[in-house]
Amino acid sequence: MDVFEERVAVVTGAASGIGLASATRFAQLGMRVVLADIEREALDGAVSNLRGEGHEVLGVETDVRELDAIRHLASATLDAFGQVNVLHNNAGVVRAGRIEELSIADWEWVLGVDLWSVIYGVKTFLPLIREAGDGHIVNTASSAGLQSSPEIGPYNVAKFGVVALTETLQLELRAEKSAIGASVLCPGAIATRITESERNRSDAAAETETSRRFNASASKIVEQGHSPESVAERIVEAIRAREFWILTHPDWIDVLRKRVEGMEDGRRLVTGFGG
């Protein structure tokens, strides 16, 4: 897709971080944009800022873990703008803990926001994008979707799932020479509020020694990460060029090479931090 003007984009997790930057970039390119998020106040703020800048946007409070909420998002989009061309499945949360200490509720929360939402999004919006003729689906995974790190098991599982889902989708679209493209976004550290994910959890779990330690060290890494705006620019380039892989940190390719070497060796496991 190389024409953005007048087209319609839907972005989940659009009230903060990467989603807010991508919604903003789409709007700046002349798209009409639907921002979906669970955090009402932040969503209202984002929508009113974008409208203040003259953009045509709509905010829809959405809990992406719920299929009905995603269906409502689709019908609100059609009611407001009549079509959908771009879907950016982006909402995400992380919960740190060793596999043995994480609860089933922790797994359900992370898999619900980070993986099921993407399944629901693709299932609900792909037929609508087909009706529009052409378009693009961008799914936010993570470098954790390419390489596991300890103490974020549900996040690794969800993000590997998003990579697999998006690869499968793109293979199927390519086989039919579709005008619709798909990309998977695998960011490294980006300066957002991801380490404060529990702010949006209704059954917020108590901090543990592991989650406290993980969040403290991840916050420092994330604070020094790339800007969300630079990620949004990469997304737009990838949609234009029909690129599948969107890696924000090219040095990750070396980590992935080491992963393959570890497979050849049969015993060595490489973590996301290159260990």
In the bound complex, what is the minimum distance in angstroms from residue 56's beta carbon to ligand NAD? 21
Residue 155 appears among annotated catalytic residues: yes
Stretch that binds ligand NAD, among 89-97, 119-127, 209-217, 238-246 (CB under 6 A): 89-97
The full DSSP string for 69-84 is HHHHHHHHHHHHHS--
Describe the strand order of the beta sheet including 86-89 as a list of residue ranges. 57-61, 32-37, 8-12, 86-89, 135-140, 180-186, 245-247
- H-assigned helices in the chain: 17-28, 40-52, 67-81, 104-111, 117-132, 153-175, 209-223, 228-241, 252-265
| SS3 state of residue 224 | coil
By rule CB under 6 A, what string of x and - marks binding of each residue 191-210 to ligand NAD? -xxx--x--x----------
Q: Under rule CB under 6 A, how many of the chain's residues touch ligand NAD? A: 32
Q: By C-beta, is 9 or 91 nearer to ligand NAD?
A: 91
Using CB under 6 A as the binding rule, whether residue 119 contacts ligand NAD is answered as no
Q: Closest Cα to residue 187, out of 162, 150, 217? A: 162
Residues within window 215-274 making contact with ligand NAD, judged by CB under 6 A: 222, 225
What CA–CA distance (Å, rounded) separates 19 from 10?
Answer: 10
Residues within window 54-83 making contact with ligand NAD, judged by CB under 6 A: 62-65
Q: Single out the catalytic residue among 155, 160, 214, 252.
A: 155
Instruction: Note the residues at the interface with ligand NAD (CB under 6 A).
Output: 12-13, 15-19, 37-39, 42, 62-65, 90-93, 113, 140, 142, 187, 189-190, 192-194, 197, 200, 222, 225
